[in-house]
A = this chain, B = another copy of it.
Amino acid sequence: MPLDLPLVRPGLPGAEQSAGQDGDAHVRRSVLPGGVRVLSEHMPGLRSATVGAWVGVGSRDETSGHFGSTHFLEHLLFKGTARRSAMDIAEAFDAVGGEANAATGKEHTCYYARVLDTDLPMAVDVIADMVTSARLETDELETERGVILEELAMNDDDPSDVVHEQFASGVLGEHPLGRPIGGTPETIREVPRDAVWEHYRWHYRPQTLVVSAAGGVDHDTLCAQVADALAAGGWDLADDASPTGRRDVARELGAGEHGLPIVGVERSVRRHTEQANVIVGCTSLTATDDRRFTLSVLNAVLGGGMSSRLFQEVREKRGLAYSTYSFASGHADTGVFGLYAGCTPAKVDEVVALMVAEWERLAETPITSAELERSVGQLSGGLVLGMEDTGSRMSRLGKAELVHGALLSIDESLERVRAVTVQDVQELAAELASRPRSVVRVGPFGD
């Protein structure tokens, strides 16, 4: 039977109650026997629902040397189960106009579907079947190897994909988070079925599974459906196992620890493109670092919108780029922070110098109170606007469970953003500016 546990901390006094009501009043969490966690959020008035099955395993967990096998496995779950062919799975979602897909990350894998609420039982049943009972047949695996090689080739033809991947590997070096999620053509050509099968059997267990859903969903019904569907797939949900959390490495690593480079890299990747794609950046905060709210303000001011410093300096004043922005992503034990632009190859040094100058100016001079106020407004409005679709809410629940072990209410998130000071931003900018800095360019340059 489902066991309800407290999950959401109450909103702080003075926070926007309407956002809080929208955000968290309908969130529930249960742990099924066997350790499967189920989270749901009922969104009144919606006729659709998105459900996702999250497994807390990603490309960083590939210890066998068979890089890309997590993503390979994700593909193979759609290729047939004990009860369903690949065509059966495809037809089930197509027949109701649903959208089913999956995403492999560096630290988790998610299988999800968006359907009318009346089709939610079907979606739960099919996804649970895939998670418990994939066959990984040799013939299907060999065909899918070709599909994945095409996917890697497609990504390789997208210069902005290439620069982001090269940047992560440049900044994180030999750290497992530095590897490309999908592997390389070489590793994909060589990965044997046994390695994928072992990965599947080892990581896809009740204790690592999180099911989250949002929209027109009833929590108790969902829990019963999940339990039934997993049992039908042969999973033993009788024992009293506890959920397994993300590895216990939620502290930030300094350079040099776990293979993080102690100096920045300068890297040029040759492509016959019209534009240069360039990122300059460094390691950054973990996903659970308290200063992540400061980082989000810093990011908004530097490169988070049309009024940001990068957009104004690089695009609006000088017309040097169409696309320019800053970004940050956090993982369990480190993260990355970067400034991106796509520009004429002949101007790439000028653009890098401009981006670095704006970054260092943040470290040297406090942002204005108007900038602080605007970025807080931007983050607050974006937080609420970003929570109107079922997919975002489903994702928020899954990540809260896998990354944080607790859901921060929207009210509390807003409060944390509002608490950021001009000094906080300057201190963090200075710290980031002092880290080993890497520059990665993709374009018509010499190797």
Contacts and interface: CB of A to CB of B under 8 A. Distances in A.
Nearest to A383: B97
B311 A90 contact: yes
Nearest to A370: B91
A61 interface: no
Interface in A57-106: 78, 86-87, 89-91, 93-100
Given A45-B44, A388-B389, A96 B322 contact: no
A157 interface: yes
A86 B304 CA distance: 16
A312 B89 CA distance: 12
A115 B384 CA distance: 10
A367 to B, nearest CB: 14
Interface residues of A, number: 78
A47 B21 CA distance: 12
A18 B45 contact: no
Contacts of A78: 306
A393 to B, nearest CB: 12
A315 interface: yes
A378 B97 contact: yes
B147 A322 contact: yes
A354 interface: no
A159 interface: yes
A436 to B, nearest CB: 29
Interface in A141-155: 142-148, 150-151, 153-154
A315 B150 CA distance: 10
Contact of A273 (B144, B157, B385): B157
B143 A305 contact: no
A344 interface: yes
Nearest to A88: B307
Given A342-B154, A344-B150, A318 B143 contact: yes
A115 B322 CA distance: 24
Contacts of A311: 90
Contact of A154 (B96, B323, B384): B323
B96 A305 contact: no
A381 interface: yes
A301 to B, nearest CB: 10
Copies of this chain, complex-wide, total 2
A272 B272 contact: yes
A321 B147 contact: yes
A234 interface: no
A395 interface: no
A319 B79 CA distance: 12
Nearest to A150: B322
A213 to B, nearest CB: 15
A256 interface: no
A408 interface: no
A46 B97 CA distance: 24
Given A45-B44, A143-B317, A319-B147, A384 B90 contact: no
B87 A307 contact: yes
Contacts of A389: 388-389
Interface in A91-128: 91, 93-100, 114-116, 119
A381 B98 contact: yes
A147 B344 contact: no
B380 A97 contact: yes
B307 A90 contact: yes
Contacts of A378: 94-97
Nearest to A92: B307
A344 B99 CA distance: 27
28 contacts: A44-B45, A47-B384, A47-B388, A48-B385, A78-B306, A87-B316, A90-B305, A91-B307, A91-B374, A93-B305, A94-B378, A96-B377, A96-B381, A97-B378, A97-B379, A97-B385, A98-B385, A99-B385, A115-B385, A143-B319, A146-B319, A147-B315, A147-B319, A150-B321, A151-B322, A154-B342, A388-B389, A388-B390
5 closest cross-chain pairs (CB), A and B? A97-B381, A146-B319, A90-B306, A153-B274, A97-B382
